[in-house]
Chains A and B, each alone.
Chain A
Amino acid sequence: MSSSTPEAPSRSGEWPLWEVFVRGQHGLSHRHVGSLHAPDAEKAILNARDVYTRRNEGVSIWVVEAHRIAASAPDDKGPMYEPSNSKVYRHPTFFDIPDDVRAM
């Protein structure tokens, strides 16, 4: 399985790119909302507040430098996910339970 971690961008004077994750409400997971440029993590969080939460969209922000994220390769989609297609018994609907049994 190959994974890709893009190289850190070479120093061209451009601020690094950060990926932004926002927790919309208490009890929910953080969700990716977009990215932005900032010189460091602290400024990235401040910028994320202005760019992605102008209307109470979140109660918590995570930022991570884009080049630190490792991702599965799109070409591996087959070997990665297809094996689970045949394992239909992992879903509750696979099993026929008579109505007489009532709630289960």
Chain B
Amino acid sequence: MYAQMIKSTGQGVKTLDEMEPQERAFQERIDAGGKIEPKDWMPEGYRKNLIRQMGQHAHSEIVGQLPEANWITRAPTLERKAILLAKVQDEAGHGLYLYCAAETLGITRDEMTEQLLSGKAKYSSIFNYPTLTWADMGAVGWLVDGAAIMNQVPLQRTSYGPYARAMVRICKEESFHQRQGYDIMMKMAKGTAAQKRMAQDALNRFWYPSLMMFGPSDAESIHSAQSMAWKIKMNTNDELRQKFVDQTVPQAEYLGLTVPDADLTWNEEKGGYDFSQPDWAEFFDVLKGNGPCNTERLAARQKAWDDGAWVRDAMMAHAEKRAAQKVAAE
């Protein structure tokens, strides 16, 4: 998802009986649906895991602005441009909510930024794919934000208070994102033959990368089991992917577009679709840094950070100067 392949302590989930009293009280609180707040005691693994997961989530929101920002100046109408601008601005906001929530665990914003720029921290694989046509703005809102919503809605119930509260704000804003994307798709799918071809092409290119957003099957993963016991992960990757496919296929049908999967069939027995898995070798390659846009995305973040340095310094210097003048005047 926005946070893919998060590794936990790697030790498997302890039973309540194996825990020291403090940890046991902590786990029982989570089991009872209680929230953990920044100054509460927490196991080191929980803290570390959360920092990694929330950091990755925040970085994804920030880097996720880039593929869409690519089309702001070329939006087909002034209204579409204003909508896209508002959507991209929301994503910046999502990144900020999440950075602040992560900071309550004792990491600084600058440390997180450094981790992103050095490649130590990851962001979602999906943002390493290019946005080649205007129809991609439709596909991204519809599929990428749609997949993100699948993951984020359950995270509103996550055990860490600041994270849960950030997710509540984010989810309120996300449905606008998905709808504006689908609205673009509807326009294009009902447009000229060339527009319809563009819409189909966008779906073809974004379908499997969207399925990859949920991460590989983790039914057997000890990392996932630990995260789920801590309620910082609420569903398995396969559950969410299935839900996404079941919801999205009828939406594609409504558009008159074809999901690029010859093996896609409704399975009456399970009450869901059978579908093809994405190419997981490609996924791991993209995570390693070899996707079509990894270099470009990181270079853009690095440039923004470097170019903004003098502004950050100047504003701080100005604030300090004014504070000193105020003290002198008192």
List the interface of chain A (C-beta within 8 A of B): 4, 9, 12-15, 17, 33-37, 39-40, 43, 50-51, 54-55, 71, 73-74
Contacts and interface: CB of A to CB of B under 8 A. Distances in A.
Contacts of B41: 74
Contact of A13 (B93, B312, B319): B312
Nearest to B39: A74
B100 A39 contact: no
A40 B100 contact: no
B108 interface: yes
Contacts, number: 53
A56 B101 CA distance: 22
Contacts of A35: 100, 103
Contacts of A12: 108, 110
A36 B96 contact: yes
Contact of A34 (B97, B315, B316, B319): B97
Interface SS, B side: helix
B313 interface: yes
Q: How large is the interface on B (under 10, 10 to 19, 20 to 34, 35 or more residues)?
A: 20 to 34
Given A12-B108, A54-B89, A54-B93, 20 more contacts: A9-B108, A13-B312, A13-B316, A14-B109, A15-B312, A17-B100, A37-B109, A39-B318, A39-B319, A40-B319, A50-B89, A50-B93, A51-B93, A51-B96, A54-B86, A55-B173, A71-B39, A73-B39, A74-B37, A74-B40
B323 interface: yes
A14 B110 contact: yes
B166 interface: yes
B90 interface: yes
A40 B322 contact: yes
B39 A39 contact: no
Nearest to A37: B109
